[in-house]
Structure 1
């Protein structure tokens, strides 16, 4: 009798566990919050648009700000030996001894019709204590790339700011 009750209890517990697991595996459309989840997912799938790049000198650092329409995409800042334009590989005509490449992905500097939405400089010489130039070096296959030039080794920190969305690189003096 005890063994029969244990088997019955084990069967009920297994059934309850299986039912709980299946409810977690149900499609999102079966949940009551499906409309909210879909809206949030759709806004995140829109490719962020890079609309401007600007810079400023501060008492202890120079700052580069990349303005974004949409969410801030993944961004990397990488020291490179020279700056080249994406696609062509041609050198970017910015004077400097040290260079940083700023790459955003997924991102675009053009709309779906192929028209540029980027209003900032394509190639700009700058005369700040550290930052000597900036160039838009690529807008290709979901990547937007900038190159920056310096006369001395740049020590930097990169971060995002929100409302409005932007990616920031501060270069210590």
Structure 2
């Protein structure tokens, strides 16, 4: 008998808790975390060193994930038209989520839109897109690029180093 009354009391407690749980006041409900500010791509620059060329992409805010991949050719995001950079091999650099414009639609990107570099490995760089929450850049090379990437902080930067034949004495 004792077991049945404990069972009945427990069942009634579960039903009561379930019914009152549905009426949790809004102030007690969990709140979503504030949305993180969109990272802004503000520039791209490059230079050469004794055994490598370097591309640096400047970002305001926290550097989001970056994907670098080889592609057959470079195309502008959106229209899909060919990017006019001479090269035989290409890298596409995609930063997302990110933008190269502010909330008012004004560009914050101060780097080149299209540039021929004349460096030993790197032949050109282009901003190829600021579209649907991603910023893409393209890089052109004469041969298959042997590259490595890393991140630098304070300020935030994404770096691609592309090896070339040594050009400095030493």
Place the TM-score, normalised by the shorter chain, in its bin: 0.7 to 0.9
Structure showing greater radius of gyration is 2
Distance 1:54 1:112 in 2: 24
State the TM-score, normalizing by the size of structure 1.
Answer: 0.76
Distance 2:46 2:118 in 1: 11
Distance 1:88 1:159 in 2: 30
Question: Is the counterpart of residue 151 in structure 1 residue 142 in structure 2?
Answer: yes
Report what 1:98 is aligned to: 89
Q: Which runs of no fewer than 5 residues in structure 2 stay unpaired?
A: 1-27, 165-170
- SS of residue paired to 1:45: coil
Pairwise mapping of residues 93-132 of structure 1 onto structure 2 (< 5 A)? 93-132=84-123
Deviations 1:36-85 (A, max 9, x none): xx9xx64x710000001000101111000000000101000000000000
Larger helix share, 1 or 2: 1
CA-atom RMSD in angstroms:
2.4
Pairs aligned (count): 144
State the TM-score, normalizing by the size of structure 2.
Answer: 0.77
Report what 2:57 is aligned to: 66
Q: Which runs of no fewer than 5 residues in structure 1 stay unpaired?
A: 1-28
